[in-house]
Structure 1
Amino acid sequence: MHRPVTGEVHVSYGQIYVVSEHEDQPDLDETFAGQASGLCGAAVPGFLWLVTGLHTGDVGFTVEVHDREPPVDPVWEDIVEVSFRPLSGDSCLQQWAGERDWLLGLEETDYRVRYSGRGMDRGHELDTRVEGDAADHYLLQFWPATPQPDRIVRQTSQIAAYWHGVARETPPERVEGEGA
């Protein structure tokens, strides 16, 4: 296992991303189009939109790259899984507006991604963290796997339930030239 990110990262607007070769950032509707889970938008190839409870400030964040599927840790309150294929070998975790990024060391192959969070409701209630310990923490895990539909593994927080609802209401992207 490799941990390219450990510690705290800064989030703005309750979001942070995994980016590989994207000049223009896709919008929320594009990234969650047709998904059941609303915490990790993976509908745009080579891009992940990660939702946090905290609106602005530092959250605990760890990224792990595994050779095989890791076990689900019961410490995490909200867990989703999606499929992801980087478009380049330069995939990185990126703060809002590209303010900072961390190279992840991912190969150009199919991955399963597990995004886990705890303390999301506390982070959402806090809204902005300027001091004290992080209210919410996240674990982003990658391992090689064939593509599969996204899924909600565990959902306990109200804010995760809200975002899952948003994703379910976001229709799949229409193909250009499709009906009116």
Structure 2
Amino acid sequence: MTDFRSVSFDLRVSYRQAYLVDDTDDAMGPDDLLRDHPTHPVGIIRVADGCAFLITGLHTGTVGFSVTVADHDLGADIDGYEDIVEISFESEAGRVSVHEWGCEKFHELPELSAGPGWYRLRYHAKNMDEAAEVDTSNEIIDHYLLQIWPESESVPRVVKSTSGTLAHWRRPR
């Protein structure tokens, strides 16, 4: 039997940024979050100390955002998205939320299915190049799906890469 819960919302971004934050995290360390994995770069999602840095194509405005929390891997939506990457994430609280830039507004998510522990984050992106070209918009251009399920820590990986935006963020800095 599959157990999963999904939520969707309009997400306001600034500087192409949003954050997945563990409920025990007191402060985000932006320096750590700016670094991609040194040997397995995935570009558009980075994790450090109970926080994931989510990069969008749109610089400033509103993006479509969905999150699915499941008890196991539901599989990637290969046909529905242009870019898909995965990375491990440790939750101390077993609860996370998505924060808009500046952390003044956040979106509550369903409780993580296995409580505290290791999870896999699969970040799907669609229309990143189009949104990056527009730069600023309150009309939704790019869409994102974040899947979260329990899984032991493992190396990050790129599942699908088609956009120039993902290629840009994967380049060594």
- Calculate the TM-score normalised by the size of structure 1: 0.84
The gaps in structure 2 that reach 5 residues or longer are none
**Structure-1 residue corresponding to 2:26:** 23
Identity of aligned residues (%): 36
Stretches of structure 1 that go unaligned for 5 or more consecutive residues are 171-180
SS of structure 2 residue aligned to 1:159: helix
How far residue 24 of structure 1 moved from its aligned partner, in angstroms, is 2.8
Cα displacement string for residues 97-144 of structure 1 (whole angstroms, at most 9, x for unaligned residues) = 1121122222212111100000000110111113x4x11000000011
Distance (whole Å) between structure 2 residues aligned to residue 85 and residue 103 of structure 1: 18
What one-letter code is carried by the residue in structure 1 that aligns with 2:160?
Answer: R
Shift in Å, 1:25: 2.0
| Alignment partner of 2:118 out of 107, 110, 113 | 110
1:72, CA displacement in angstroms?
1.6
Task: Say which structure is richer in strand.
Answer: 2
TM-score normalised over the length of structure 2 = 0.88
Query: Structure 2: how far apart are the matches of 1:89 and 1:70?
Result: 19
Residue pairs, 1:78-117, within 5 angstroms: 78-104=83-109, 105-106=111-112, 107-117=115-125
Query: In the alignment, is the contact (CA less than 8 A) between 1:45 and 1:87 conserved in 2?
Result: no
1:174 corresponds to: none
The amino acid of 2:72's aligned partner reads R
SS of alignment partner, residue 75 of structure 1: coil
| 1:138 counterpart (144, 147, 154) | 144
* 4+ residue runs over 3 A deviation: none
1:59 counterpart (58, 63, 66): 63
Count of aligned residue pairs for this structure pair: 162
- Structure with more of its chain in helix, by fraction: 1
CA RMSD of aligned residues (A): 1.4
Number of the residue aligned with 2:135: 127
